[in-house]
Amino acid sequence: MSLYLGLDISTTAAKALVIDSGGRVISSVSNAVESSQPHPLWSEQDPRAWWSSMSRSIGAALSASDGGRVSAIGLTGQMHGLVILDSASQVIRPAILWNDQRTGEQCERIRQTIGRDRLIQLTGNEALTGFTAPKLLWVRENEPEAYARIRQVLLPKDYIRFCLTGEYATDLAGASGTLLMDVANRRWAQEMLEALEIPPAWLPPTHEGTDQTGVVGPQAARETGLREGTPVFAGGGDQSAQAVGVGAVTPDVVALTLGTSGVVFAPCAKYTYDANGRLHAFCHAVPGQWHLMGVMLSAAGALQWYRDNVAGGVDFGVLDKEASTVAPGAGGLVFLPYLSGERTPYPDPTARGAFVGLTTRHTRAHLTRAVMEGVAFGLRDNMELMRQAGITPRAVRASGGGVRSPVWRQILADVLEADIVTVSSAEGAAFGAALLAAVGVGDFGSVAEACARTVRETGRTEPGEGVERYREYHARYRALYPALAAEFAALSRLSDAG
């Protein structure tokens, strides 16, 4: 029996997932990884802690896999993070993560240097604080001693790759999120590197998601229990791998992720981009494909924050049941889910969350439903941009912890006016990484074939009675950010000043 190992280094955990050629999950083990916020807007992690957690996860997953031998390994993980190594391949400073917001000045400098229109055309993206390039400029300007020691720049999952294989490499999907890629031509953008004075030698070779990038070395084999020489494949950034995991690998299938962040993901057969930079245009992990993506920074994470800090830590099932007793519109209460700033459709790190319309008649059930609806409205903003780009899905493949809620699935179906389809591969990005490895080792002829044989539809929620009501409420939601944006910025300046 062929087994495949998918490794996912997320913001919260290091996951190792073993599947067989039929898509059956043999074992899945996660170990937590800790983040630090040493200053306001900062978010960092120690890459060495990633490997410590991942090696434990791998060992435990192998122990639980009935003695089967892993024939191929695929990688995925959080995108945009900056890992810098010195000439001895040692970590120079903690990794700066995707949700770090310190680089506003550097983003503006990139726009001025390249020109905003050319930047979007070339890289497929606006200069956003989460991306890798502005983080690298921030290190140059604020930590010059650390910058002077840099010899290699990696993304988080590619540090795990280095620990496994001793090789520097990255996938095209992950590299697209650095703001240093010529996305249309699937290569590093010399124009960007020259303009920003970043040495090309610092960047690893790029690969399609099914390319082999090395083999497990002796030290990694001893630390994990993997067989030395096991091939390791490129994989993809977490959103591309997640899309593979739910079968969004052809232009007719749109994927939605309701995790800590919220993502709408649309595969494309050719390079296309949003001239206003509201949508991300990246290479897909599927060879020769691209994708458009809209990202809101707080989705199921907003409900987690609400549960932990407002709702007294009660069980999510209790909140779900209470929300089901409230009619669409939450009694005139609207929630803005901008708890970590926002990316799509408002690239604004100073955007803030808010409940608008509170009265004494609102209960916890109303607040819970308003949070769910506010996230759905944000995802609708993303979906409408997709529709403007010519993508008109009638069904959306949904994954992530939030879609376990039947109430939230119905809200999404009504707000998005599309069927919400759940699938068998609940393990998400790690599952997709394992499938990419299975294709790479030759056990499937293509990524589409691998998905067709392993990903099955498990449920479908159709739009219901809330559609018309939610059209009215979404209009009110859309009016709130423009009305409050200046006040959000003012409050951000006040809080930064202490």
Point out the residues that are catalytic: 238
Contact predicate 77/8, CB 8 Å: yes
Structure tokens at 338: 């901008």
> DSSP assignment, residue 176?
G
Contact predicate 335/357, CB 8 Å: no
The vertex-21 CA angle with 15 and 25, nearest 5°, equals 35
Please provide residue 248's backbone torsions phi and psi, each rounded to the nearest 5 degrees.
Answer: -90, 75
3-state secondary structure of 267: strand
DSSP string, 287-350: TT-EEEEEEES-SHHHHHHHHHHTSTT--HHHHHHHHTTSPTTGGG-EEE--BTBB-SS--BTT
Structure tokens at 367: 């607040």
Give the whole-angstrom CA distance, residue 242 versus residue 31: 19
**Of 253, 123, 141, 245, whose CA–CA distance to 197 is shortest?**
141
Give the whole-angstrom CA distance, residue 70 versus residue 231: 9
Print burial letters for 192-221: b (CB count within 10 Å at least 16), e (below 16): bbeebebeeebbbebbbbbbbbbbbbeebb
In Å, what is the CA distance from 105 to each residue of 109, 144, 313? Answer: 6, 17, 38
Structure tokens at 42: 């900062």
> DSSP assignment, residue 8?
E
CB atoms within 10 A of CB 419: 17
Structure tokens at 64: 């639980």
The vertex-279 CA angle with 208 and 183, nearest 5°, equals 30
Give the whole-angstrom CA distance, residue 238 versus residue 177: 11
Report CA torsion sign: 19, 432, 242, 177: positive
Give the whole-angstrom CA distance, residue 283 versus residue 270: 10
In Å, what is the CA distance from 138 to each residue of 114, 176, 200, 242, 465? Answer: 17, 19, 18, 30, 50
